[in-house]
Structure formats: C-alpha cells, structure tokens
Structure 1
Amino acid sequence: MRKRAIIRAVLAAALAPVCAGIVALTVTPTAAAVGGSGPYPADYETSTSLANHTIYRPGTLPAEKLPIFVWGNGGCSANGLSQQNFLREIASYGFLAIASGGPNASGSTTSQMLTQSIDWAVAENSRQGGKYYGRLDTGKIAVGGYSCGGLEAYAVSNDARVTTTTIFSSGLLNDADDYQLRRLTKPIAYFIGGPSDIAYPNAIDDWGKLPAGLPAFMGNLNVGHGGTYGQTNGGEFGRVAVLYLKWRLKGDTTAGANFVGANCGLCNTQWQVQQKNLTLDGGNPSPSPSPTPSPSPSPSPSPSGGGSRGCSATYSVQDQWSGGFVASVSVTAGGTAINGWSVSLGLPAGATITSLWNGVNTGTSGNVTVTNQSYNGRLSAGQSTSFGFQGSGTGAGATVTCAAG
C-alpha cells in the first residue's frame, strides 16, 4: 500500500509552501548560466498562440530538427521560469522545451497544459511561414515534470504522440491512480532525490508496479526533494536529463550508455541506479527473468481460452463504478515460446474502450482485437504478460480468446 500521510500532505496540500520556497530560489538563481552549456545557446520566449506557457529554444535554430520536451513545474506552479536553468540547459542541446505557465506568472497549472504544449508544437511545425515550420521533430516528444508537475506528466503519458515519460522527484499519491501505470507503453525514467526526498517512497512504489516488459530507468541522487534545478545549468539533474533525452529523442547511443547495463555511465557513481528491460538500440530486450506480476484478478474472471493455439487469456475487472470500469487481460504462452499474440475480446453490450495500455486495439466496442506491443510479444513457455484498459459501461461478462503470432 502507498499513502504515507507526510507524503500526501507535502505532495498534495503542502506542495505549495514546500515548492514555493524552491521556486523562489530558482526564479532568480545565484549562478545562472545564460545560454546553457550546449552547442546552441538558448533562452526563452512566449507566443500569443500558446498563452500561459514559456518556450525555451536555441537562439539560432540548428539545421537539425528539434525534438520536443514539455514540462510541468514543481508545485504545479504557473511560473514558467521556475526551473529555468534546467530547461535552458536542455534547449541548448538542440531541443524545444515548453514549460506550463508564463514567465513569472502566478497561479497553478493543469495536465491539460502539457497537451496544449504538444498540440502547439505540432501545429507550428506545419504552419507555413512560421519560424518552426519543418524545424521540429514531432515524432520525438518527451513529457516530464518535477514533483506536482510529475503527476501532470503521468496524466498525459498515454498520449500516442509521447515517446518517453520522465518523472522527477514525484510519485502517484493514491493507489486508485495506479491505472496510469498500467497504461504505460513507452519508456519511462525516474530521477529522484534519494531516500531524503519526500517523493521517494511513492516513486519506489510506482517502480514496483510498472508493466512487465516496460523499458524503465530509475536514478536516485541523494540531494533531497529540491533537486539541483536552480544550480548552474540545472546541476546534475540537468546534465543527466540532457543525456537521457539525447538517447531517447535523438538516438544517441553514447548518451544512452549512461543508463544501460551493469557498467552504465551512472552505475557505480553517486547515483543509485535501477534498470528494467533496457537496450541501447531500443529494441526488444530478452524477457525479464522476474517480470512485474500482473494485477490480481477480480473475484469474477471470465473463462480463458485459446490454449491450443499457443497461448491462453484470462479477463478480470479491476474496478467498476457507475458508468465505467478498468479491466485487465493476462496472456500466457503455452508449452512453447511465442513471438507475438492476438486476443479476441468480446465486450458486453454497451461497453466501450476509452483507453488501452500494453497492447494495440482494433475497435473499441463489440468484438475487439488486441495485439501485443513491440516489447511484450515474445513470451517463453509458460510466461505471462498483461494488457489493460479503461472503459465506459459495465465490464462484467466479457470473453477472451488468444492466438499466438
């Protein structure tokens, strides 16, 4: 079980006073390095077509397209300069970084503002005559956030346009929100301030609940909840964030070597490192010898089927409320290894899938086909994986059959 009172108090109610102090430090840093340390000196700007946001960009756009990084501030602060050193540093390495909230603005942000950032960047890349026309890599988008902003990043991590999620000193507050973990399908990375970070227990709880097969990295640097964002160039968190984004959004495997393998660049340093299912080239890792267990089935699972076709499937309703539900389907290989699976899901009348994770669905109601993602199709004999979905209507009474690819 999650939920320590101190964490809930600080990350929810007390985030404002705790992070207000952090924000006050980072708005006017004592050692700001204008431009960042990268090859493209960067600063920030605003746009009338993206109200209440702060856009960090190289002063002179490089010839290469800019991947996109959208950011939620600590304390869900609407001051887009809250982590300015950190975001300027990222931009200086050839990224477009967009923070929720205007420069020195007041108030609070919402997760929808991250989606607005993505929408705006995609639109600007297609707007003829605009300075970003054809200059952005809209196929490479990362979402991230610090503390309360990390909760916002979780909320939009299932956007199909997101390439990777980055969580800084944050973790889900309530077990009821764990569906956000179950729907993750893209690589995720955690950068936490060590055991003295108030978000540490929740981040560790989230780590243990990630879907089996999901590529994931966790690094803990013992600096506490405040991180290093206000230091020159964002300090160590800024350095490591640049490396991670260069790997995930630019395909830089030299940068990626800092995160992958027993002898990774961050291994055996001041960082405490954990890894799951990571490969430098982003391909399918070998099946994990001890995958994260699938959610416990509900008291009323549907019959499984398809065992004679190389795999079997079982369906269970995880949660049901008036007008909606969350369900899970466990897929298990038969007596031999399989390299792909397809589940035929028969939904009860009136039920409709609204979001699905760890699988690819064709259709949303009636007879739906769900196939594996790139990372969870290979199963050794007897090995299981799972996918889940949220739906409207009533979840009880669905049927499932499985066929191996």
Structure 2
Amino acid sequence: MRNRTMIGAGLVAVAVGVLALGAGPAGAAVGGSGPYPADYETSAGLPNHTVYRPQNLPAERLPVLVWGNGGCASNGTAQVNFLREIASHGFLVIANGAPNGSGSTSARMLTESIDWAVAENARSGSRYYGRIDTSAVAVAGFSCGGLEAYAVSDDPRVTTTLIFSSGLLTDADDYQLRRLTKPIAYFIGGPGDIAYPNAVDDWGKLPSGLPAFMGNLNVGHGGTYDQPNGGEFGRVAVLYLKWRLKGDVSAGTAFAGAGCGLCGGPWQVQQKNLSLGGPAPTTPPPTGGATACTAVYTVQNQWNGGFVAGVTVTAGSAAIDGWRVTLSLPSGASVTSVWNAAGTGTSGTVTMTNVAYNGQLTPGQSTTFGFQGTGTGAGAGTTCTNI
C-alpha cells in the first residue's frame, strides 16, 4: 500500500505553478531543430486542441503524438517549444487545449485527437489525406497530463505511451498498469521531482514482459520543456518517438542495451524487456508436425461501413524470432490503419509482419496486433508462418 493522496495533490499544484510562473509561450514562429521547420494551428474539426505540424508536409507519412498538458491545463501551447521540436522531426503532434487557452482538459480529449487524425487521413480534400501514419500513434503527457495518457493507453490504436514526471495517484488506479500491452517510457525529473515516488511505484508494478524504459534526469518536476527546442527532454523524446513510431534502430540505441546512449551519463536509466530487434533465425522452421505459429482473428467492433479486428499470434512448440500473418479479407473489406504490426496491401490478400518489439516469442507465447478497416470484417482467413 502507498499513500499518494498528498503527493497527487502536490503534483497537480506544482504543475499548475510551473505554468503560471514560467515565461509566456513563444509566438507561433516556425521552428524546431529537425529537418521540417514546424508551426502550430487549430482546426475547426477539432475544437479546443492545438495541432503542431511541419510547415511543409514531408513526403513521408507523419506518425502521431497526442499530448496532455501539465496541470491538465487547457492551454495547447503550454509546452510549445517541446512540442514544436517533436513536430519538426516529421511528426503530427496534437495537444489538448487551444493555443493560450484556459480551463481544464480530460483524457477523452486525447481520444478525440486520435479520432481526428484517423479521419483526416481518410478524408478526401484534407491536407492530411493519406499523409498520416495512423498505425504509429503515441500517447503522452506531463504531470496531470500523464494521468490522462495512462487513461487511454489501452486504446488499440496506441503504439506506445510516454509518461513525463507523472505517476498514478492511488493504488485503486493500478488496474491501468495491469492492462498495459504496448511499450512504455518514463522521463522523470529525478528524486527532486514530486512525481518521482509515484513513477517508481508504477515501474515496479508493470506487467511482466512489457517493454519499458525509465530515465531520470535531475531537473525536478518542471523538466526542460521551456528551454530552446524543449531542452534535453525534447531531445530524448524525439529519439524515442523515432525508434518506436518510425522504426529507427539507431535512435533506439539511446534506450536499449547495457551500453545505451543514455546509460552512464546524466540520465539514471532502468530498462525492462528492451530489444532493438531479434537476429535472423539460425535454424530452419520446425518440421515433422511442429507448428511454427498460429493466428486467431477476431472482429472486435463492427459498424455500418467499418470495423476493428484483432489477431492473436501464438508460437508453436519452438521459439520463433519473427512472424508473418497472411490475411484473406472478405470482398469489399479494406485495411485503413494497423497497430503492433507492419502491413503490406490493403485489400484481398494482405500480410502483417512483426515489429521490433513483438517478433521474438518463446514456445506457446502470444502477442497481438490489430487493424481498422472499411467494409465488413467477418469471414477473414489467416495463416501464420515464422520468418
């Protein structure tokens, strides 16, 4: 048991204080250190949110980061330097709250951000039509915003969660940890951060086998968000998102392995179940009746014109270092977004292969991926092979 009521109240109070006492947000000047100078805007289709994007959209599709502010404040520019920095590296960033807005936010607003990104990617006439990678979505937040991120981390469209100077406030909320299935990262301000005990407690209760990273930088609860380009928190957030949302293994070396880039420096690092990707198989697939893997397909939600499906991949009697699922979709069905797998094709026969963190399975171990599609999902056929 832990008594975090006072810690929780202080966490929100400090977060609000940081916002009130810090310098006012910078103007909407194009900026960031990345290759795509970024700016922010609002959208009539997503009221009370702030959208950060490269000023000129790159040819590559934009992964998505949805963000909850410190103090759950409805000010989408409260961490403007930090969020604009991320966008400048080729990400679409959506923060709760209007620019310089007032009031409070809720976790539901993060879900609204994801809904909007998926819809804009599919809407003919949108500047984002076909330009958003809806299979690569991160949810994140600072302080009270981190609690909002926890609340929606079980959304099947979420690829990874980032918690900045935050932790669950009571043991009654620990169910949110037990339902985590996607990689998670904590970036905390060291022992002087009021959220430090909460975050450490959460770390100890993460599900077994969950890929997780924790980095503590001794800067206190206020972080480095107001520094140029978001300071050190901005730098490591970009690296983590490049790794998890763009598959950039070189960026991932900052976090994984005994000699990781953040290991042995000012960051105090902890790691769980981190891998940059398994090696190529050194033995042939099992034969003589042994099953390499199986795939079980389930329609999780069906509505008029669309559906969400999930697939559970289970290794057979031998370990595997990678898997490929072939799906035969019903006539008229088409895949629009994928999570926890890399998809090829959108209709008819499509293939889904593992991503870096879920390809290695021990005998009998399972992992899951999912996708959203148009049409009717019932009746798809599946086959699974190891690769």
Give the structure-1-normalised TM-score: 0.69
- How far did 1:281 drift? 2.5
Partner residue of 2:265 out of 269, 274, 277: 269
1:247 counterpart = 2:243: yes
Question: Helix, strand or coil: the match of 1:378?
Answer: coil
Question: What percent of counterpart residues are identical?
Answer: 71
- What is the rounded CA distance, in whole Å, between the counterparts of 1:281 and 1:25 in structure 2? 44
2:274 is aligned to 278
2:326 is aligned to none
- Tell me the amino acid that sits aligned with residue 129 of structure 1: G
Residues 321-336 of structure 1: pairs in structure 2 closer than 5 A = none
1:378 counterpart = 2:367: no
Partner residue of 2:85 out of 89, 92, 99: 89
8 A Cα contact 1:33 1:233, kept in partner: no
Question: Helix, strand or coil: the match of 2:266?
Answer: coil
8 A Cα contact 1:247 1:256, kept in partner: yes
- Tell me the amino acid that sits aligned with residue 144 of structure 1: A
8 A Cα contact 2:278 2:359, kept in partner: no
1:156 counterpart = 2:152: yes
- What is the rounded CA distance, in whole Å, between the counterparts of 1:270 and 1:31 in structure 2? 31
Partner residue of 2:73 out of 74, 77, 89: 77
- Tell me the amino acid that sits aligned with residue 199 of structure 2: A
Question: Helix, strand or coil: the match of 1:94?
Answer: coil
- Tell me the amino acid that sits aligned with residue 37 of structure 1: S
Q: Aligned in 2, Cα 1:146/1:255: closer, same or farther, shift over 3 Å?
A: same
- What is the rounded CA distance, in whole Å, between the counterparts of 1:177 and 1:185 in structure 2? 16
- Tell me the amino acid that sits aligned with residue 191 of structure 1: F
Aligned CA-pair RMSD = 2.8
Q: Aligned in 2, Cα 1:268/1:66: closer, same or farther, shift over 3 Å?
A: same
- What is the rounded CA distance, in whole Å, between the counterparts of 1:114 and 1:95 in structure 2? 16
CA deviation string 1:38-68 (max 9, x = no partner): 0000010000000000000000000000000
Partner residue of 2:162 out of 156, 163, 166: 166
Partner residue of 2:214 out of 218, 222, 233: 218
Question: Helix, strand or coil: the match of 2:236?
Answer: helix
- What is the rounded CA distance, in whole Å, between the counterparts of 1:67 and 1:51 in structure 2? 21
8 A Cα contact 1:43 1:58, kept in partner: yes
Question: Helix, strand or coil: the match of 2:168?
Answer: coil
Q: Which shifted more, 104-113 or 25-34?
A: 25-34
- How far did 1:23 drift? 1.5
Partner residue of 2:117 out of 94, 109, 121: 121
1:181 is aligned to 177
- How far did 1:4 drift? 3.6
8 A Cα contact 1:216 1:275, kept in partner: yes
Q: Aligned in 2, Cα 1:81/1:283: closer, same or farther, shift over 3 Å?
A: farther
Residues 342-357 of structure 1: pairs in structure 2 closer than 5 A = none
1:55 is aligned to 51
- How far did 1:26 drift? 5.2
- What is the rounded CA distance, in whole Å, between the counterparts of 1:4 and 1:224 in structure 2? 18
Q: Unaligned regions of 5+ residues in structure 1, if any?
A: 285-335, 340-372, 388-405
- What is the rounded CA distance, in whole Å, between the counterparts of 1:386 and 1:62 in structure 2? 33
- What is the rounded CA distance, in whole Å, between the counterparts of 1:112 and 1:129 in structure 2? 27
Q: Unaligned regions of 5+ residues in structure 2, if any?
A: 281-316, 321-356, 369-387
- Tell me the amino acid that sits aligned with residue 10 of structure 2: V
1:9 counterpart = 2:9: yes
8 A Cα contact 1:26 1:84, kept in partner: no
8 A Cα contact 1:27 1:84, kept in partner: no
- Tell me the amino acid that sits aligned with residue 378 of structure 1: T
1:143 is aligned to 139
Q: Aligned in 2, Cα 1:263/1:337: closer, same or farther, shift over 3 Å?
A: same
- What is the rounded CA distance, in whole Å, between the counterparts of 2:166 and 2:116 in structure 1? 26
- What is the rounded CA distance, in whole Å, between the counterparts of 1:277 and 1:223 in structure 2? 27
Which structure 1 residue ranges, 4+ long, deviate > 4 Å from structure 2? Answer: 29-34, 336-339, 373-377, 384-387
8 A Cα contact 1:172 1:206, kept in partner: yes
1:198 counterpart = 2:194: yes
Aligned pairs, number? 299
8 A Cα contact 1:212 1:385, kept in partner: no
- What is the rounded CA distance, in whole Å, between the counterparts of 2:108 and 2:23 in structure 1? 23
- Tell me the amino acid that sits aligned with residue 238 of structure 2: V
1:104 is aligned to 100
- How far did 1:81 drift? 0.5
8 A Cα contact 2:5 2:170, kept in partner: no
Question: Helix, strand or coil: the match of 1:249?
Answer: helix
CA deviation string 1:264-305 (max 9, x = no partner): 000000000000000012899xxxxxxxxxxxxxxxxxxxxx
Q: Aligned in 2, Cα 1:191/1:46: closer, same or farther, shift over 3 Å?
A: same
- How far did 1:379 drift? 6.1
- What is the rounded CA distance, in whole Å, between the counterparts of 1:108 and 1:237 in structure 2? 24
Q: Aligned in 2, Cα 1:283/1:46: closer, same or farther, shift over 3 Å?
A: farther
Q: Aligned in 2, Cα 1:33/1:255: closer, same or farther, shift over 3 Å?
A: farther
